[in-house]
Structure 1
Amino acid sequence: LPWLYVFAASRPEPHILSVLSNPSSADVVHHIRLEDTANSHDDVGRYLEETLPKIPSYGDYLEKHPDALERLISRAAGVFIFARITVNFLDEHHSHPEEWFELLLSGGSPAAMPLNALYLQILRSAFPPEDLRALPSEHKRLRSLLRFVALETESITSETIAFYERDLSASDISDMVDRLRSVLMIDQDGDVVPPHASFGEFLVDKHRCSDALYHVDKAEGHAHLACACLAAMSFENYIYRLRKPDLPPQLAHVNFGIMVTCWRRHVRQAAYTVELEEQLSQFVQDVRLALQIWHHGGLWSSFSRYSVQNVWDYLQVGG
């Protein structure tokens, strides 16, 4: 159909570009990068020029140092999410604006993915490398949070992360999210989410997240999450999932579905670890395998007599 044109907008994901760049479609597929368009820099520049002076203490600073704003606009390279996260970050740090501006302008050239440098600067500012090295327990807590943010596709509340990461409390999670509120937030449903998907992608790409203190290894991370799911499986937790309206207050916001449906995906993408081998070995020998069978059987009316709920009721005193 020579009159049919399809316009598709996407971030430059390698797996998408690899398909669209196939030589067989080179004569019909044309690529335009947003940052190469005539007015992308102007749009981002206007946003920063209108927004930053309204942040307390930055109006006076920029009036005295107009070159700082020009350098920041140049560093943004037409990428709006860079500008948005920059505004979020500066809005959290009102004192000593010159120090925060220099922090954002340091670390890498504008041509080398400024968003990567920005994410890394924000992580280092919230959780300084020297602190993480001095306090391994603090580093472990941070990695637990970043692992969930980067690898778990289901909704995750602070309570959910704390449920699966037994060394963390919901208040620990909330505190860390608050320290990273430029790149993480708790939405209206209580879920911990990044304002842009590129943050999770940054965390799992060792070439983009060049500091190992903050990098999330995908295979090891999936192994850890698989173990967390398997460890959480129990008759009691299955029933909590079925009786959600009647849950104790401390469990009301826990996503038990991760335990039931996501463990297989994490196992498939996991690296081998001794802990995962032990968890899987125990899994096929104890009640958790039966729970999985009953869970899926309970979805069909012909197996209703063997649903988890019925088995649980039968085992209760007087059942």
Structure 2
Amino acid sequence: MSFFPDAKQFTISRGSFTHVEGNVNHYNIQVDPQDNLEELERSISKGLETLAQQAVLGASHNAEQRFPPPKCHPGTRAHVLKTLRRWVRSKSKPTSIYWLYGAAGVGKSAIAQSISESFSTTDLAASFFFSRTDPSGLRSTLAHFFITLAYQLAVSPLSSPILNKSITHVAYSRPDIMHASLETQFQELIVQPCSQLSPEQVNILPRLIIIDGLDECIDIASQERLLSIIRQAKSADIQPPLPFEFLICSRPEPRIRNAFGHRNFRDILDCTELGESLQSGLDIAKYLRDEFRMIQQGHGLAMAHVAQDWPGDHIIQQLVQRACGQFIYAATILKYVGEYHALPTEQLKIIMSVTVPEQTDSPYPDLDLLYMLILHSAIDMQNLQLTLPSFPNTTHVPYGIPPSTSPTSCVMLENLFSLNKGKVGALLFGLHSVLNIPENDHTDIGMYHASFGDFLMDPKRSGRYFVDSRGEVMAKYRAFYLLRCFSITVANTL
């Protein structure tokens, strides 16, 4: 049956049509295309707004919060990068999860960043870089993880045309999903929208999700929980299967290792260990040579009298041996030597003059010695030890207090510890190789690498520089927040 036989090139707005046959109504159709379009646009806009409010925008590979991100020095890590790129590009690989693991400071995050950038315009679906040193605390927890992935999938130029409408519709129609369990968020924001795709859409969907620093999620149980969610999604016999592949980078902590040891990971997991090797030594040597050359050029006249091949192969090889495969050791040395307030040749001479004791229980003796050397340059050790525990990775925000209000700027620390204006900047002078100290006094101070926080909180490694985050500092920390909460409450009642 047709209402308008042979009709062409006409439109109907707000039409209502009824076909009557006998005493029975067969059709009652009301059409308002404009209303439907407006509702769709509203759901997309509101859903995206809801996701953006809850997503951790600083966790992605290209986030401003992480600038400048660590990435592989040109010409280094060639073998592992080639292996990972081949794995990503392969369309017929049996495994859908790749675990890249290694000790602190070996360069896992740099590799994850380099892979993210390599595939940012082709295969990268989403990325999340965990960090215990994040001043907001949001990158050290799993609470917003799946919301963040869903948001990235909804806005990425690669996946947005395919997944935007379905993901934002869930966020719009079910705002309670933001507070649902992680398992529910994963199913409704990611799994179900993907299950509605056609085979053609799945074929053009970016597949790679990169998760870096899983061990820096401070709740150990959450680390296992995330791996369990991924394992169940990838090993379950569901149709259609979840289209994503995961590159996961972490330290080989016991519970992470045990989680990956589950029998259902066996057939879907590839893994590579990063550690001390001949190739890593060659890579660190190249990194040191290139950066020492940049330091020499950057200091101009102060280094004009120095030989072109400074500091020479002998020194380079000694530093490589001390690094033991840890790029963080080399990076910290370069920051220390390259500080503009000092002469690079003298800074390097200081480093080379100290040696590790023959008997030490530290797993990272040379790195610990380097950190001690840097801390020794502090002008006022008593006040420095008072303020150090306030930085991310050495403190635990009291229960119920938003991590994003953590007092880690110069101004906040001076108020908290009753220090004169400018005192914190003076205390931290000379620590730029381990701390990211912004020029703006109101911007958070952070650690360049979690290994520095680990060093400070281990009394066997840090000795007299040990930071006890449970003592006087935490008492002041809690008092500060109680007063802040009280002042906010009073202000809201006026």
Common fold, TM-score beyond 0.5?
yes
**How far, CA to CA, are the matches of 1:36 and 1:99 in structure 2?**
25
Task: For 1:264-303, list aligned pairs within 5 A.
Answer: 291=489
Aligned pair in 2 of structure 1 residues 175, 59: CA closer, same or farther (>3 Å)?
same
Q: Please give the residue correspondences for 1:74-89 in structure 2 after superposition, counting only pairs within 5 Å.
A: 74-89=321-336
Cα distance, 1:65 vs structure 2: 5.1
CA-to-aligned-CA distance 1:153-198 (integer Å, 9 cap, x gap): 54521011112112x2341111122221111122477221111122
How many pairs are equivalent? Answer: 227
- Structure 1 equivalent of residue 99 of structure 2: 8
1:120 alignment counterpart: 372
Percent sequence identity over matched residues? 22
Deviation at 1:202, TM superposition (A): 1.5
Aligned twin of 2:254: 18
CA distance in 1, matches of 2:371, 2:258: 32
Match status 1:55 vs 2:286: no
How far does residue 86 in structure 1 lie from its aligned partner after superposition? 0.4
Structure ID, larger Rg: 2
Match of 1:34 in 2: 274
SS in 2 for 1:218: coil
Matches within 5 A, 1:235-246: 237-238=487-488
Aligned match of 1:178: 429
How far apart are 1:74 and its partner, in Å?
1.4
Residues 15-24 or 38-47, more deviating? 15-24
C-alpha separation in 1, matches of 2:423 and 2:476? 19
Q: Deviations over 1:182-219 (max 9, x none)?
A: 1112247722111112212221112321x22x111132
Q: What corresponds to 1:215 in structure 2?
A: 466
The answer to whether 1:66 aligns with 2:313 is: yes
Per the normalisation by structure 1, the TM-score is 0.60
Aligned pair 1:100/2:347, yes or no? no
Offset from partner CA, 1:105-157 (integer Å, 9 cap, x none): 52357994132221111111335xxxxxxxxxx33311122111121654521
Structure 2: distance between partners of 1:170 and 1:5: 54
Could you tell me which runs of 5 or more consecutive residues in structure 1 were left unpaired when the two chains were aligned. 128-137, 239-290, 292-307, 314-319
Select the structure that is richer in helix.
Answer: 1
Q: Which runs of 5+ in 2 are unaligned?
A: 1-92, 104-214, 221-251, 297-302, 397-402
CA RMSD of aligned residues (A): 3.4
Q: Retained in 2: the 8 A contact 1:165–1:228?
A: no
Q: Which has the higher contact order (CA 8 A, sep 6+)?
A: 2
Q: Match for residue 151 of structure 1?
A: 395
What is the aligned counterpart of 2:457 among 195, 204, 228? 204
**Which amino acid in 1 is paired with 2:329?**
F
Offset from partner CA, 1:4-43 (integer Å, 9 cap, x none):
3312346645956121333992763776431245522222
Superposed displacement of residue 63, structure 1: 4.2
Instruction: For 1:64 and 1:198, locate their aligned partners in 2 and report how far apart those are by CA, in whole Å.
Output: 27
Structure 1: which 4+ aligned runs deviate by more than 6 Å?
Answer: none
Give CA-to-partner distance per residue, 1:79-107, whole Å, 9 cap, x none.
1111111001011231535632424x523
TM-score by length of 2: 0.40
CA distance in 2, matches of 1:18, 1:97: 38
Q: Assess, with a 3 A threshold, how the Cα gap between structure 1 residues 165 and 8 changes in structure 2: closer, same or farther.
A: farther
Q: Secondary structure at the match of 1:8?
A: strand
